A = this chain, B = another copy of it.
Protein backbone atom coordinates (compact mmCIF):
# COMPACT_ATOMS: atom_id res chain seq x y z
CA UNK A 1 0.00 0.00 0.00
CA UNK A 2 2.89 2.34 0.70
CA UNK A 3 4.18 1.75 -2.78
CA UNK A 4 0.78 2.44 -4.23
CA UNK A 5 0.57 5.68 -2.31
CA UNK A 6 4.06 6.70 -3.43
CA UNK A 7 3.18 5.92 -6.99
CA UNK A 8 0.03 7.95 -6.77
CA UNK A 9 1.88 10.80 -5.18
CA UNK A 10 4.48 10.67 -7.95
CA UNK A 11 1.86 10.66 -10.65
CA UNK A 12 0.21 13.61 -9.03
CA UNK A 13 3.46 15.53 -8.73
CA UNK A 14 4.11 15.00 -12.42
CA UNK A 15 0.62 16.23 -13.12
CA UNK A 16 1.31 19.29 -10.97
CA UNK A 17 4.55 20.11 -12.75
CA UNK A 18 2.99 19.61 -16.13
CA UNK A 19 0.08 21.72 -15.07
CA UNK A 20 2.35 24.46 -13.68
CA UNK A 21 4.37 24.57 -16.89
CA UNK A 22 1.25 24.92 -18.97
CA UNK A 23 -0.45 27.27 -16.64
CA UNK A 24 0.59 30.79 -15.66
CA UNK A 25 -2.59 30.89 -13.55
CA UNK A 26 -5.15 31.56 -16.22
CA UNK A 27 -8.64 32.23 -14.98
CA UNK A 28 -11.81 30.65 -16.29
CA UNK A 29 -12.35 33.40 -18.86
CA UNK A 30 -8.79 32.96 -20.12
CA UNK A 31 -9.61 29.35 -20.85
CA UNK A 32 -12.58 30.36 -22.96
CA UNK A 33 -15.38 29.74 -20.49
CA UNK A 34 -18.19 32.08 -21.51
CA UNK A 35 -19.75 34.21 -18.77
CA UNK A 36 -22.29 36.98 -19.00
CA UNK A 37 -21.79 40.51 -17.77
CA UNK A 38 -18.85 42.87 -17.45
CA UNK A 39 -16.30 42.21 -14.71
CA UNK A 40 -14.33 44.93 -12.93
CA UNK A 41 -10.58 45.57 -13.26
CA UNK A 42 -9.47 42.53 -11.29
CA UNK A 43 -12.62 40.47 -11.73
CA UNK A 44 -12.50 40.20 -7.96
CA UNK A 45 -14.36 41.21 -4.84
CA UNK A 46 -11.72 43.90 -4.38
CA UNK A 47 -13.16 45.72 -7.37
CA UNK A 48 -15.58 47.07 -4.79
CA UNK A 49 -13.61 50.02 -3.48
CA UNK A 50 -12.33 49.57 0.03
CA UNK A 51 -12.55 45.80 0.15
CA UNK A 52 -9.31 44.11 1.14
CA UNK A 53 -8.55 40.39 1.18
CA UNK A 54 -5.75 38.61 3.03
CA UNK A 55 -4.76 34.96 3.23
CA UNK A 56 -2.73 32.83 5.57
CA UNK A 57 -1.88 29.53 3.91
CA UNK A 58 -0.63 26.64 6.02
CA UNK A 59 0.93 23.73 4.14
CA UNK A 60 3.35 21.36 5.81
CA UNK A 61 4.06 17.68 6.17
CA UNK A 62 2.96 14.77 4.06
CA UNK A 63 1.94 11.16 4.38
CA UNK A 64 0.08 9.47 7.17
CA UNK A 65 -2.16 11.50 9.43
CA UNK A 66 -0.93 11.96 12.97
CA UNK A 67 -3.49 14.10 14.73
CA UNK A 68 -1.77 17.21 16.01
CA UNK A 69 1.28 16.77 13.77
CA UNK A 70 -0.19 16.91 10.31
CA UNK A 71 -0.05 16.87 7.39
CA UNK A 72 -1.41 20.42 7.39
CA UNK A 73 -3.41 21.82 4.45
CA UNK A 74 -5.44 24.70 5.80
CA UNK A 75 -5.50 28.45 6.44
CA UNK A 76 -7.44 31.60 7.04
CA UNK A 77 -8.91 34.22 4.72
CA UNK A 78 -9.85 37.71 5.90
CA UNK A 79 -12.14 40.12 4.06
CA UNK A 80 -12.20 43.71 5.33
CA UNK A 81 -15.24 45.54 3.91
CA UNK A 82 -13.67 48.99 4.30
CA UNK A 83 -10.03 48.08 4.61
CA UNK A 84 -8.08 47.04 7.67
CA UNK A 85 -7.78 50.59 9.00
CA UNK A 86 -11.50 51.25 9.25
CA UNK A 87 -13.67 50.83 12.32
CA UNK A 88 -16.76 51.81 10.37
CA UNK A 89 -19.45 49.15 10.05
CA UNK A 90 -21.21 48.25 6.80
CA UNK A 91 -24.85 47.35 6.24
CA UNK A 92 -25.07 43.59 5.85
CA UNK A 93 -27.34 40.56 5.77
CA UNK A 94 -26.87 36.84 5.46
CA UNK A 95 -28.67 33.72 4.33
CA UNK A 96 -28.37 29.96 4.76
CA UNK A 97 -29.16 27.72 1.81
CA UNK A 98 -28.11 24.62 3.73
CA UNK A 99 -27.11 24.90 7.33
CA UNK A 100 -24.52 22.18 7.90
CA UNK A 101 -21.91 24.79 8.66
CA UNK A 102 -21.06 27.75 10.79
CA UNK A 103 -21.05 31.49 10.47
CA UNK A 104 -20.68 33.19 13.83
CA UNK A 105 -21.91 36.68 14.58
CA UNK A 106 -25.06 36.40 12.54
CA UNK A 107 -27.73 37.17 15.13
CA UNK A 108 -26.31 40.66 15.48
CA UNK A 109 -25.96 41.06 11.73
CA UNK A 110 -29.67 40.21 11.57
CA UNK A 111 -30.78 42.57 14.29
CA UNK A 112 -28.40 45.48 13.86
CA UNK A 113 -28.26 45.29 10.09
CA UNK A 114 -24.53 45.89 10.37
CA UNK A 115 -21.36 43.91 9.90
CA UNK A 116 -18.81 45.45 12.23
CA UNK A 117 -15.38 44.12 11.33
CA UNK A 118 -14.03 41.58 8.88
CA UNK A 119 -15.50 38.38 7.52
CA UNK A 120 -13.15 35.50 8.26
CA UNK A 121 -13.15 32.07 6.64
CA UNK A 122 -11.21 29.06 7.85
CA UNK A 123 -11.67 25.33 8.45
CA UNK A 124 -14.57 23.95 10.47
CA UNK A 125 -12.61 23.14 13.59
CA UNK A 126 -10.73 26.45 13.76
CA UNK A 127 -13.66 28.83 13.81
CA UNK A 128 -13.28 29.39 17.54
CA UNK A 129 -9.63 30.32 17.57
CA UNK A 130 -10.12 32.67 14.63
CA UNK A 131 -13.16 34.26 16.27
CA UNK A 132 -11.40 35.10 19.51
CA UNK A 133 -8.32 36.20 17.55
CA UNK A 134 -10.43 38.79 15.74
CA UNK A 135 -11.44 40.18 19.13
CA UNK A 136 -7.86 40.34 20.37
CA UNK A 137 -6.85 41.97 17.07
CA UNK A 138 -9.62 44.51 17.55
CA UNK A 139 -8.60 45.12 21.15
CA UNK A 140 -5.08 45.84 19.91
CA UNK A 141 -6.24 48.11 17.08
CA UNK A 142 -9.57 49.36 18.31
CA UNK A 143 -10.66 51.85 20.84
CA UNK A 144 -12.80 50.51 23.63
CA UNK A 145 -13.51 53.14 26.21
CA UNK A 146 -11.27 53.45 29.22
CA UNK A 147 -12.94 50.88 31.36
CA UNK A 148 -13.20 48.34 28.60
CA UNK A 149 -16.95 48.60 28.03
CA UNK A 150 -16.75 47.09 24.65
CA UNK A 151 -17.66 43.84 23.05
CA UNK A 152 -17.38 42.22 19.72
CA UNK A 153 -19.25 39.52 17.86
CA UNK A 154 -16.97 38.52 14.98
CA UNK A 155 -18.22 36.92 11.80
CA UNK A 156 -16.28 33.73 11.12
CA UNK A 157 -17.32 31.05 8.65
CA UNK A 158 -15.87 27.75 7.61
CA UNK A 159 -15.79 24.76 5.35
CA UNK A 160 -14.37 21.33 6.17
CA UNK A 161 -10.93 20.33 4.89
CA UNK A 162 -10.51 17.08 6.81
CA UNK A 163 -10.01 14.98 3.67
CA UNK A 164 -6.66 16.64 3.04
CA UNK A 165 -5.88 18.39 6.34
CA UNK A 166 -5.26 17.26 9.91
CA UNK A 167 -8.34 19.19 10.95
CA UNK A 168 -8.45 17.73 14.45
CA UNK A 169 -4.88 18.86 14.99
CA UNK A 170 -6.07 22.48 15.36
CA UNK A 171 -3.15 23.95 13.45
CA UNK A 172 -4.63 27.39 12.95
CA UNK A 173 -3.34 29.77 15.64
CA UNK A 174 -4.31 33.33 16.57
CA UNK A 175 -1.22 34.56 14.74
CA UNK A 176 -2.54 33.03 11.53
CA UNK A 177 -5.76 35.01 11.83
CA UNK A 178 -3.82 38.19 12.60
CA UNK A 179 -1.56 37.62 9.61
CA UNK A 180 -4.52 37.33 7.26
CA UNK A 181 -6.02 40.48 8.78
CA UNK A 182 -2.76 42.43 8.62
CA UNK A 183 -1.72 41.43 5.10
CA UNK A 184 -5.09 41.98 3.49
CA UNK A 185 -4.86 44.21 0.46
CA UNK A 186 -6.84 45.60 -2.41
CA UNK A 187 -6.11 44.65 -6.02
CA UNK A 188 -5.86 41.14 -7.41
CA UNK A 189 -6.94 38.35 -5.09
CA UNK A 190 -5.01 35.08 -4.84
CA UNK A 191 -7.25 32.14 -5.73
CA UNK A 192 -7.24 28.39 -5.39
CA UNK A 193 -5.20 26.65 -2.68
CA UNK A 194 -4.82 29.70 -0.47
CA UNK A 195 -6.11 30.97 2.85
CA UNK A 196 -9.16 29.25 4.22
CA UNK A 197 -9.49 27.52 0.86
CA UNK A 198 -6.15 25.74 1.02
CA UNK A 199 -7.45 22.23 1.59
CA UNK A 200 -10.89 22.52 0.01
CA UNK A 201 -12.55 20.35 -2.64
CA UNK A 202 -15.14 21.57 -5.12
CA UNK A 203 -17.23 19.22 -7.24
CA UNK A 204 -14.58 16.60 -6.52
CA UNK A 205 -11.91 18.74 -8.15
CA UNK A 206 -9.50 20.72 -6.03
CA UNK A 207 -11.34 23.84 -4.88
CA UNK A 208 -10.61 26.73 -2.58
CA UNK A 209 -10.86 30.48 -2.94
CA UNK A 210 -12.41 32.01 -6.06
CA UNK A 211 -13.61 35.48 -6.85
CA UNK A 212 -15.33 37.50 -9.55
CA UNK A 213 -17.05 40.84 -10.04
CA UNK A 214 -19.50 42.68 -12.23
CA UNK A 215 -19.75 46.37 -13.08
CA UNK A 216 -23.25 47.55 -13.82
CA UNK A 217 -24.08 49.75 -16.75
CA UNK A 218 -24.36 53.46 -16.03
CA UNK A 219 -28.11 53.35 -16.55
CA UNK A 220 -28.23 50.87 -13.69
CA UNK A 221 -26.07 53.13 -11.55
CA UNK A 222 -22.62 51.89 -12.53
CA UNK A 223 -22.25 50.02 -9.24
CA UNK A 224 -19.86 47.14 -8.68
CA UNK A 225 -20.78 43.75 -7.25
CA UNK A 226 -17.96 41.49 -6.09
CA UNK A 227 -18.12 37.90 -4.91
CA UNK A 228 -15.61 35.75 -3.07
CA UNK A 229 -16.21 32.06 -2.40
CA UNK A 230 -14.52 29.45 -0.32
CA UNK A 231 -15.62 26.54 -2.42
CA UNK A 232 -15.79 23.07 -0.94
CA UNK A 233 -19.13 21.73 -2.16
CA UNK A 234 -20.56 19.61 -4.86
CA UNK A 235 -20.33 16.38 -6.76
CA UNK A 236 -18.56 15.77 -10.05
CA UNK A 237 -21.73 14.33 -11.52
CA UNK A 238 -23.67 17.56 -11.12
CA UNK A 239 -21.05 20.15 -12.06
CA UNK A 240 -22.15 22.46 -14.84
CA UNK A 241 -19.83 25.04 -16.36
CA UNK A 242 -21.48 27.54 -18.68
CA UNK A 243 -24.45 25.19 -18.71
CA UNK A 244 -22.40 22.20 -19.83
CA UNK A 245 -22.25 19.05 -17.70
CA UNK A 246 -18.48 19.21 -17.54
CA UNK A 247 -18.26 16.88 -14.58
CA UNK A 248 -19.68 13.94 -16.49
CA UNK A 249 -17.20 14.39 -19.26
CA UNK A 250 -14.25 14.29 -16.86
CA UNK A 251 -15.26 11.42 -14.59
CA UNK A 252 -11.77 10.35 -13.49
CA UNK A 253 -10.34 10.70 -10.00
CA UNK A 254 -13.52 11.49 -8.15
CA UNK A 255 -13.39 11.77 -4.38
CA UNK A 256 -16.69 10.69 -2.99
CA UNK A 257 -20.19 10.19 -4.19
CA UNK A 258 -22.27 12.71 -2.28
CA UNK A 259 -22.47 16.47 -2.24
CA UNK A 260 -20.58 16.83 1.00
CA UNK A 261 -18.59 19.89 1.72
CA UNK A 262 -19.85 23.40 1.77
CA UNK A 263 -19.51 26.84 0.28
CA UNK A 264 -19.17 30.20 1.92
CA UNK A 265 -20.03 33.14 -0.31
CA UNK A 266 -19.27 36.78 0.44
CA UNK A 267 -20.95 39.42 -1.72
CA UNK A 268 -19.77 43.03 -1.65
CA UNK A 269 -21.23 46.03 -3.41
CA UNK A 270 -20.89 49.78 -3.37
CA UNK A 271 -24.56 50.20 -4.25
CA UNK A 272 -26.44 51.97 -1.46
CA UNK A 273 -28.51 49.14 -0.06
CA UNK A 274 -30.17 48.73 3.32
CA UNK A 275 -30.07 45.39 5.16
CA UNK A 276 -33.49 44.29 3.89
CA UNK A 277 -32.15 44.57 0.37
CA UNK A 278 -28.87 42.87 1.19
CA UNK A 279 -30.84 39.91 2.54
CA UNK A 280 -32.36 39.56 -0.89
CA UNK A 281 -28.91 39.72 -2.49
CA UNK A 282 -27.70 36.98 -0.17
CA UNK A 283 -30.61 34.78 -1.21
CA UNK A 284 -29.86 35.23 -4.92
CA UNK A 285 -26.48 33.56 -4.46
CA UNK A 286 -28.42 30.28 -4.54
CA UNK A 287 -29.32 30.92 -8.16
CA UNK A 288 -25.66 31.28 -9.13
CA UNK A 289 -24.91 27.96 -7.48
CA UNK A 290 -27.91 26.51 -9.30
CA UNK A 291 -26.33 27.51 -12.60
CA UNK A 292 -23.21 25.59 -11.61
CA UNK A 293 -25.32 22.50 -10.90
CA UNK A 294 -25.36 22.48 -7.11
CA UNK A 295 -28.13 20.70 -5.29
CA UNK A 296 -26.81 21.67 -1.89
CA UNK A 297 -26.58 18.31 -0.18
CA UNK A 298 -27.34 17.52 3.43
CA UNK A 299 -23.69 17.69 4.42
CA UNK A 300 -23.24 21.14 2.97
CA UNK A 301 -22.91 24.38 4.88
CA UNK A 302 -23.96 26.86 2.22
CA UNK A 303 -23.95 30.19 3.98
CA UNK A 304 -23.79 33.58 2.31
CA UNK A 305 -23.23 37.12 3.54
CA UNK A 306 -23.71 40.34 1.59
CA UNK A 307 -22.61 43.85 2.53
CA UNK A 308 -22.67 47.33 1.08
CA UNK A 309 -19.76 49.75 1.43
CA UNK A 310 -22.06 52.70 0.76
CA UNK A 311 -23.40 54.74 3.65
CA UNK A 312 -20.20 55.29 5.59
CA UNK A 313 -20.75 56.36 9.16
CA UNK A 314 -24.25 54.88 9.27
CA UNK A 315 -23.53 53.01 12.49
CA UNK A 316 -23.00 54.45 15.90
CA UNK A 317 -24.56 56.73 18.44
CA UNK A 318 -24.09 60.08 16.81
CA UNK A 319 -27.70 61.11 16.32
CA UNK A 320 -30.06 60.48 13.42
CA UNK A 321 -28.11 59.11 10.45
CA UNK A 322 -28.62 60.18 6.85
CA UNK A 323 -28.67 57.29 4.41
CA UNK A 324 -28.93 56.61 0.72
CA UNK A 325 -30.98 53.72 -0.60
CA UNK A 326 -31.46 52.35 -4.07
CA UNK A 327 -35.17 51.81 -4.81
CA UNK A 328 -36.26 48.19 -4.76
CA UNK A 329 -37.26 48.30 -8.37
CA UNK A 330 -33.69 49.18 -9.32
CA UNK A 331 -32.30 46.00 -7.80
CA UNK A 332 -32.62 43.71 -10.81
CA UNK A 333 -29.23 44.54 -12.26
CA UNK A 334 -27.63 43.88 -8.88
CA UNK A 335 -29.48 40.61 -8.44
CA UNK A 336 -28.31 39.47 -11.87
CA UNK A 337 -24.75 40.60 -11.21
CA UNK A 338 -24.76 38.63 -7.97
CA UNK A 339 -25.90 35.49 -9.75
CA UNK A 340 -23.35 35.92 -12.53
CA UNK A 341 -20.41 36.69 -10.26
CA UNK A 342 -21.25 33.75 -8.02
CA UNK A 343 -21.48 31.45 -11.01
CA UNK A 344 -18.03 32.59 -12.16
CA UNK A 345 -16.28 32.75 -8.78
CA UNK A 346 -16.91 29.04 -8.22
CA UNK A 347 -15.41 28.15 -11.58
CA UNK A 348 -12.48 30.49 -10.93
CA UNK A 349 -11.77 28.65 -7.69
CA UNK A 350 -11.51 25.33 -9.49
CA UNK A 351 -9.52 26.75 -12.37
CA UNK A 352 -6.98 28.33 -10.01
CA UNK A 353 -6.58 25.40 -7.63
CA UNK A 354 -3.71 22.99 -8.17
CA UNK A 355 -3.80 19.27 -7.55
CA UNK A 356 -3.06 18.62 -3.89
CA UNK A 357 -2.03 15.60 -1.86
CA UNK A 358 -2.76 15.72 1.85
CA UNK A 359 -3.27 13.41 4.79
CA UNK A 360 -2.86 9.71 4.17
CA UNK A 361 -1.80 10.56 0.62
CA UNK A 362 -5.31 11.59 -0.30
CA UNK A 363 -5.06 13.36 -3.61
CA UNK A 364 -7.57 15.65 -5.24
CA UNK A 365 -6.92 16.61 -8.84
CA UNK A 366 -7.20 20.05 -10.28
CA UNK A 367 -9.80 20.68 -12.97
CA UNK A 368 -7.74 19.91 -16.10
CA UNK A 369 -7.76 23.04 -18.22
CA UNK A 370 -7.36 21.48 -21.62
CA UNK A 371 -10.03 18.92 -20.92
CA UNK A 372 -12.34 21.71 -19.89
CA UNK A 373 -11.74 23.47 -23.18
CA UNK A 374 -12.40 20.28 -25.11
CA UNK A 375 -15.69 19.73 -23.35
CA UNK A 376 -16.81 23.30 -23.92
CA UNK A 377 -15.88 22.96 -27.56
CA UNK A 378 -17.85 19.73 -27.86
CA UNK A 379 -20.92 21.64 -26.73
CA UNK A 380 -20.18 24.69 -28.84
CA UNK A 381 -19.61 26.81 -25.77
CA UNK A 382 -15.93 27.68 -26.06
CA UNK A 383 -15.65 31.47 -26.06
CA UNK A 384 -12.21 31.67 -27.59
Contact = CB atoms under 8 A, between A and B. Distances in A.
Contacts of A291: 240, 290-291, 293
Contacts of A105: 102
Contacts of A99: 107-112
B128 A329 contact: no
A4 interface: no
A112 B128 contact: no
B127 A148 contact: no
Interface in A280-330: 280, 283-284, 286-291, 293-299, 301, 303, 314-330
Contacts of A168: 135-136, 139, 144, 148, 150
Which of A162, A274, A287, A339 has the most B CB atoms < 10 Å from its CB? A287
Contacts of A238: 336
A157 to B, nearest CB: 10
A53 B300 CA distance: 31
B67 A139 contact: yes
27 contacts: A65-B148, A67-B148, A96-B107, A98-B111, A99-B111, A100-B111, A101-B153, A102-B107, A103-B107, A106-B106, A114-B328, A125-B132, A127-B131, A127-B132, A128-B130, A129-B132, A132-B170, A144-B168, A150-B168, A151-B167, A284-B295, A284-B296, A290-B291, A298-B331, A299-B329, A321-B324, A380-B380
